[in-house]
Structure 1
């Protein structure tokens, strides 16, 4: 996967624009857990090749794309599995865009949907307002190709925005800035090189993208602008529709807002890592993002072998937070607006764990290193004020071994939903038993009070 912060666009020399100086706000760093919602025309077929960790040969990766939200591209690659299935299911006369007439979101209740994300621990929620297919989920004035005029016949972003804000969570928007297959006439993308070659960079398209983003900011005042696959090069200069001007106006409208790094310009907010394991602490605020399975959009081909269990999801969250990151986990609803049971099961498990152990996640910062493996359960660490949280990520081991600099603490307190914390002494060898009632947990949490000195 790409590191988008390394892509900074054309060299404009003395004509390069100036960008805002806004830092990543503390509320974002404190939030730790957000939910993506990938929902669009691709949710109608809800299909992609399910190949998981093993993957496929690089030269086949786009024809066998594991992201169901890329169906609109994959279906145009002759002979691809999606192309074959589309002919069988919808017939040769049905284009991808015709699927808008098949999209019935009749079971979608925004308050209920958002309630499930909040119960899973979400502090911010980011739906896809427009993915690469170009179908807009809000009542836009820029195109008739939207969810109010076609398909659901509803302003889905307005509904989600209202429900999110009423729930007390922050609301963000995902926007595909430089890819829009509805207003483009390129061959299908079949390689990473094509990803940047087969896209519009002209001034007219830059103005089109800018007008859509301006609508989203004006109508929803999003706390997060999450752009994807950069911005058209025709909008990276000093004009009023350029990225620099858009970001200045955004921060004027939402002073404590935040953006990501996928604009293809020198300005970055938080940096992103997609389906990537990060080895160590990243000093700059960053966000790990992935689906509960191997696709963001719902892929009906995925089963339990392709999806994160509740335990795996909790351990992923702990790992990311210990390294100074936020986790943006994705839910991919069915076309009708319901959450598949496999995804919901993992969400419920994470929510239950956070209900007990959230103090070790929300509002924390990393320690001097993310963790240790000295015997017994591997450890991850987070801090808050003067407290250090020790997170045992394999509590079935029955014990942990603390590093030398923590053995002087004297004692630690295990967090449990069974009542008062269980206090345990720390011996000179650093070995501490994990209480029996916590050995079946995904992650057991202990607190060493006063371990962090000013």
Structure 2
């Protein structure tokens, strides 16, 4: 047997604690990726524009997301691996108090603390299926650059360090066991600039001028727990700082690789490409979420285009020539929206979109924040359901993240919210799944005061709260569903869009039912609208779906 092959077999078979020392001194290079699938999609925007959103996704409407990785271990909120290096910030102060100064205890050491010891994907996926999710997405890597799967191209991964488990593999198995569509979210394209604060040093205090660990080298690992691992494979900071890098808000203006960002090296881009191709080939997701403007590394590199074409081509091969893949991107041009599904982060469109789209949002912070639990600050089941109803009426889906603790669990407040969603969906799901937009998405004062989108979204919660006069419409076959986002005090609901002589509903109303309540309802249709008498008893405390059937 060839020496390198023998050493690789020994490494893969060795206990995890031995691996750094076994690897030390070995000319270790990852295996080449699988050949790029080349037909029928090519890695160009023109070719990707032939994409058609699969019907399964249009019918699914609701997905759940585990945005979970080592940054959840401190339980101090989103972007911890960046914030811990920003002198004076909340996360920096927390980190110094809990772990020590970032020159001595860096993010690599946070990874070492993370064990995910109570993670039970089977139990969570059973709960999420009960809640009505039709697809599930797990984090494959974040901007922290740590792969949460068995990665040949990134030695800093969860099978070798931290939990020493194949987290994506475990999620994939549990998801498919429940019969749900499986997806991954990929964020690591941005590590190059996102982790630049790790190159800094304190400007004041007893350790002023002492560099953080962002530029630490493999040679400095002798005798440490990370001996044999190159920190630059994680931090990717062997490059000059971007323009105005000391401005913590600059990253947002440089997200599309412009405005003075230091260009990522070809080697960095190619490594990202190989890691992602391996992820797609090994775990075979139907859904890929990219946290990028358009596609990863676009427009400075074509890696994202190559990945998208490969995803579509290999997915179609697996599904007998029928493409079932969904790829998400943010801040898309009208032409790019033909190539993939537009994702709006923490926000909603204000109109029926001609192409399917998605809102992604979270019960709390993207990475677990203990303070939200302590302050009972999560979104309620009602808020989630109202968002879902609104989004679906405009041709969209909702992907909801349930924050996870570092140990792999969700807390009891989150569990109660998920159970509340489940209770509503089990009765009212027919007004959600498999529906399509009607001639108008709805009516009411909330839409009249809707907030505009900002950048990739971020307009949720900025408009007028939903109430009983806010109605959302969808259709399924010959049935029209009208869902009220509140219970009218008069016991009578008026649907103005169904007025006689109006432009929207030409047929005759034959029967009206309220999902979750027995029997048919009394109604009267006039030039003011369809007035429906509601029962004395509410069927739930969240939203009320009327099933309207024509003659």
**Shorter-normalised TM range:** 0.7 to 0.9
Which structure's CA Rg is the greater one?
Answer: 2
- Could you tell me how far 1:426 is from its partner in structure 2? 2.7
Pairing 1:42-441 to 2, within 5 Å after superposition: 42-48=71-77, 68=78, 70-92=79-101, 93-180=104-191, 181=195, 182-185=234-237, 186=241, 187=245, 189-191=248-250, 192-195=252-255, 196=257, 197-198=260-261, 200-229=263-292, 230-233=295-298, 236-237=301-302, 242-255=303-316, 256-262=324-330, 267=336, 268-293=339-364, 295-303=365-373, 306-373=377-444, 377-397=469-489, 398-403=491-496, 405=498, 408-416=508-516, 420-428=518-526, 430-438=530-538, 440-441=540-541
Match of 2:51 in 1: 22
In structure 1, stretches of 5+ residues that fail to align are 1-14, 49-67
Is the 2:495–2:531 contact (alpha carbons within 8 Å) kept by the matching residues of 1? yes
Residues 155-207 of structure 1: CA deviation (Å, up to 9, x unaligned): 01000001101101000110115212434224574332244455653211111
Whole-angstrom distance in 1 between the partners of 2:285 and 2:435: 24
Greater relative contact order, per chain length (Cα 8 Å cut-off, separation 6+): 1
Whole-angstrom distance in 2 between the partners of 1:315 and 1:379: 10
- Give the TM-score, by structure 2 length: 0.70
RMSD, aligned CA: 2.4
- Give the TM-score, by structure 1 length: 0.84
In structure 2, stretches of 5+ residues that fail to align are 1-42, 196-233, 317-323, 446-466, 501-507
- Could you tell me how far 1:411 is from its partner in structure 2? 3.4
Secondary structure at the aligned position of 2:132 is classed as coil
- Could you tell me how far 1:226 is from its partner in structure 2? 1.0
- Could you tell me how far 1:349 is from its partner in structure 2? 0.8
Is the 1:75–1:82 contact (alpha carbons within 8 Å) kept by the matching residues of 2? yes
Is the 1:393–1:442 contact (alpha carbons within 8 Å) kept by the matching residues of 2? yes
Whole-angstrom distance in 2 between the partners of 1:103 and 1:35: 23
Aligned length: 410
Residues 321-360 of structure 1: CA deviation (Å, up to 9, x unaligned): 1111100011111111111222222111111101001000
Whole-angstrom distance in 2 between the partners of 1:400 and 1:176: 45
Alignment counterpart, residue 62 of structure 2, candidates 33, 44, 48: 33
Identify if the C-alpha distance between structure 1 residues 224 and 16 changes in structure 2 by more than 3 Å, giving closer, same or farther.
closer
- Could you tell me how far 1:117 is from its partner in structure 2? 1.3
Secondary structure at the aligned position of 1:88 is classed as helix
- Could you tell me how far 1:71 is from its partner in structure 2? 0.7
